[in-house]
Amino acid sequence: MLDHVSIGVHDVARARRFYDPVLAALGYRCLVEGDGYAGYGSDQPQFWVQSSEAPVPADGRSGLHFSFTASGRKAVDAFHAAALAAGGADNGKPGPRPDYGPNYYAAFVKDLDGYRIEAHAEIAA
C-alpha cells in the first residue's frame, strides 16, 4: 500500500549513525544521500530521513511507529542489538508476539529522536 515514508529529524548525520547499522542488520542500506536527507531500502529508497526544523515530537501515547520487514528471527535479534548499540532505547525485546499472530516475531526500539520502530518476521510455528 505505501510506497515510502519520510521522518523529520534535527540532525541527519546523527540519525544516520543510528539507522545505517540498524537497517543494515535487516539487509537495507542507504541508497541515496544528500545535504539534509538519506533514503534507505534494498532496491529503491522506501524509508527517508530528512532534516526538519519541526520534527514530530516523540510521544509514546500517539500510536505512531514504523515496522520494517525482517528475514527471520536472527535479523530481528540483530536489529534490536544494533539499535541498542547505536544508542536507541529498548521498547520491547525480541520475541514471539502471539497477540499479533501465531507466527509473528518482533522487536521494538526507540531511535535517537524518540521515533518508535519495529522489526518483524513471520516464523514457523
The per-residue pLDDT for range 88-122, each reduced to its tens digit, is 999 999 999 999 999 999 999 999 999 999 999 99
* Spatial distance between the Cα atoms of 77 and 95, rounded to a whole number of angstroms: 9
The reply to whether 44 falls in a domain is yes
Residue 21 lies in a domain: yes
Specify the pTM: 0.94
Please check whether residue 13 is in contact with residue 38, taking contact to mean a CB–CB distance below 8 angstroms: no
In this structure, what CATH number is given to the domain that contains residue 23?
3.10.180.10
Question: What is the count of structural domains for the chain?
Answer: 1
Domain that holds residue 42: 5-51+62-122
Residue 106 counted as domain residue: yes
For residue 56, is it within any domain? no
Answer yes or no: are the C-beta atoms of 40 and 46 closer than 8 Å.
yes
- For residue 107, being part of any structural domain is answered with yes
Is 57 inside a domain boundary? Answer: no
Residue 1 burial (10 A CB sphere; 0-12, 13-18, 19+):
exposed
